[in-house]
Amino acid sequence: MESELSRIGVSLPDILLDKFDVIINNRGYSSRSEGIRDAIRGYIRYYDWMSDIEGQRAGNITLAYNHKQRGVEDLLANIQHEFTDIIQSTIHIHLDHDNCMEVIILQGEGKRMTEIYENLVKNKGLQHVKLNTIIPSEI
């Protein structure tokens, strides 16, 4: 367990904090701080996992966004054109009047998959971006 603690301030929209409070209550955390520490640990584990993706992989990136967000569709098209070497297919569905979900099917070098993920995740117009991969030779 961490021996030294640092205090930080975080600004969150009320709806996000309300949802987080429900989760920490359901999971039995004793405080928000405990829940935030656990969430940060999970984020670090995912980041470390992402750093180890290499070699031939198959995978997908699932993303969600509001199509009315200015420039988001052009951004997606530009990024996808940059990664035609690993993109096998895309699936696009309309979740409701404003929101869309895309699944990008990938096959190729794992480092390229993390590259496309990093290009997508840093854009504020995307509400959800998640990469999953498998090693085909291990199936």
In tens, the pLDDT along 78-98 reads 999 999 999 999 999 999 999
Range of the domain at 35: 14-50
- Identify whether residues 43 and 72 lie together within a single domain: no
pLDDT, the chain, mean: 91
- Identify whether residues 122 and 74 lie together within a single domain: yes
- Identify whether residues 59 and 46 lie together within a single domain: no
- Identify whether residues 23 and 72 lie together within a single domain: no
pTM here is 0.76
- Stretches in the chain below the pLDDT threshold 70: 1-2
Are 90 and 79 in contact by the 8 Å Cβ rule? The answer is no
- Identify whether residues 38 and 84 lie together within a single domain: no
Rounded Cα–Cα distance for residues 30 and 74 (Å)? 44
Q: How confident is the model at residue 42, as a pLDDT?
A: 84
- Identify whether residues 67 and 44 lie together within a single domain: no
Are 115 and 57 in contact by the 8 Å Cβ rule? The answer is no
Q: How confident is the model at residue 21, as a pLDDT?
A: 93
Are 72 and 65 in contact by the 8 Å Cβ rule? The answer is yes
- Identify whether residues 32 and 96 lie together within a single domain: no
Nearest CA among 119, 11, 124, 139 for reference residue 71: 124
Angle at the Cα of 30 (from 25 to 36), degrees rounded to 5?
A: 80
Q: How confident is the model at residue 4, as a pLDDT?
A: 86
Phi/psi of residue 74, each to 5°? -65, -40
Q: How confident is the model at residue 48, as a pLDDT?
A: 78
Q: List CB contacts of 65: < 8 A, sequence separation 6 or more.
A: 72, 76, 99, 100, 102, 125, 126, 127, 128
In a domain, 8, yes or no: no
In a domain, 2, yes or no: no
- Identify whether residues 107 and 122 lie together within a single domain: yes
- Identify whether residues 71 and 23 lie together within a single domain: no
Are 40 and 120 in contact by the 8 Å Cβ rule? The answer is no
Please tell me the total count of domains within the chain.
2
